[in-house]
Amino acid sequence: AGVIASAAFAQTYPTRSITMVVPFAAGGPTDTVARLVAESMSKDLGQQIIVENVGGAGGTLGAGRVANADADGYTVLLHHIGMATSATLYRKLPYDTLNAFEYVGLVTDVPMTVVARKDLDVKDFKGLVEYAKANSDKVTVANAGIGAASHLCGMLFMSAIETPLVTVPYKGTGPAMTDLLGGQVDIMCDQTTNTTKQIQGGTIKAYAVTSPERLAIFKDIPTVAEEGMPAMQVGIWHGIYTPKGTPAEANERLSKALQVALKDPNIASRFAELGTLPSPETDGTPAALKAKLESEIARWEPVIKAAGQYAD
Ligand code: MLT
């Protein structure tokens, strides 16, 4: 009966719209990646993917929502490197990182930019380091909560300059960007999917990128390695997950739709415009995502333990 049921399921799935939970506020980088791939995946699946933003606690609330959702193939999570770092950062999570999810596939890898409000009187990265050290009791660093990519990068920065600064958490770097544009917060380390337009528009300042090489869209912005801080090099990879127990036929069908989306020229050109270049490993397969999550938990655990003293 099981075989017949799963064959019937595979024949018909999906029969209704799918919810894609984004664990950060709307308008931020994760939301941008989600809406891009969801639009293309919907076409391949023949069903609407509806993005639902569930912010809070650096992405762990949204991840917990999906971990505890029905494992029927109609709720998926799109999350990033925070799935790995939160495993070390949180003593207690609303889910068991390596046992609460099934894997659909890796989506893309997004570089980060060290940016500041446009009237910060600092002209380059070295100047930013000096300014931060000299004003550590008042320089504010925006992030999207413990477990966010902006939190990780901010931590790497404060650890590299050996100076804790004043961190200001938001439900996502979408809302954080509003305050950066308004000058209510001083600096942020955020993904190019959220900062490219503002940097190109001159409404914020950019001092460095966290990619290994300079970005094609920002040839004049140095890498953190060029600025003597290779430890700040980080790429924000994204993955799609389903609750543990979701039928394999659903995960496979979703992974196929993701792989079609990643080959969609519109997605590829939009990602390139936003500074993200899917690396060869983001081939959209479940195995690649599983391997990435496990290796990234191991990679960041010692780094977070060493740098954790600088970021609350
Ligand atoms: C967002 O979508 O708001 C960001 O991914 C938050 C972060 O991780 O810094």
Task: Please compute, for residue 67, the number of CA atoms within 13 A of its CA located in the half-sphere on the CB side.
Answer: 18
Question: Which protein residue's CA is at the shortest distance from atom 3 of ligand 1?
Answer: 172
Q: Is 175 in the pocket of ligand 1 (CB under 6 A)?
A: no
Q: How remote is the CA of residue 63 from the centroid of ligand 1, in Å?
A: 13
**What are the residues facing 215 on neighbouring strands?**
218
The mean pLDDT of the chain is 95
Angle at Cα 91 formed by Cα 86 and Cα 97, nearest 5°?
A: 45
Q: Which residues contact 34 (CB under 8 A, 6 or more apart)?
A: 20, 22, 51, 78
State what percent of residues in the chain have pLDDT above 70: 97
Mean pLDDT on 190-204: 98
Q: Which of 1-5, 67-71, 101-105, 271-275 has the lowest mean pLDDT?
A: 1-5
Q: How many CB atoms lie within 10 A of CB 96?
A: 11
Backbone angles phi, psi at 123, to 5 degrees: -100, -20
Asked if residue 238 has its Cβ within 6 Å of ligand 1, the reply is no
Distances (CA, A) of 289 to 42, 84, 185, 210, 302: 21, 11, 35, 22, 21
Question: Does the pLDDT at position 77 exceed 70?
Answer: yes
Nearest to 262 by CA among 240, 234, 246, 235: 240
Say what the pTM is. Answer: 0.96
Q: What is the pLDDT of residues 36-75, one digit of tens each?
A: 999 999 999 999 999 999 999 999 999 999 999 999 999 9
269: Cβ contacts below 8 Å, ≥ 6 apart: none
CA of 264 relative to ligand 1 center, distance in Å: 24
For the chain, what is the total number of helices (H) and then of strands (E)? 11, 9
Q: Which two tokens stand for residue 255?
A: 């992974």
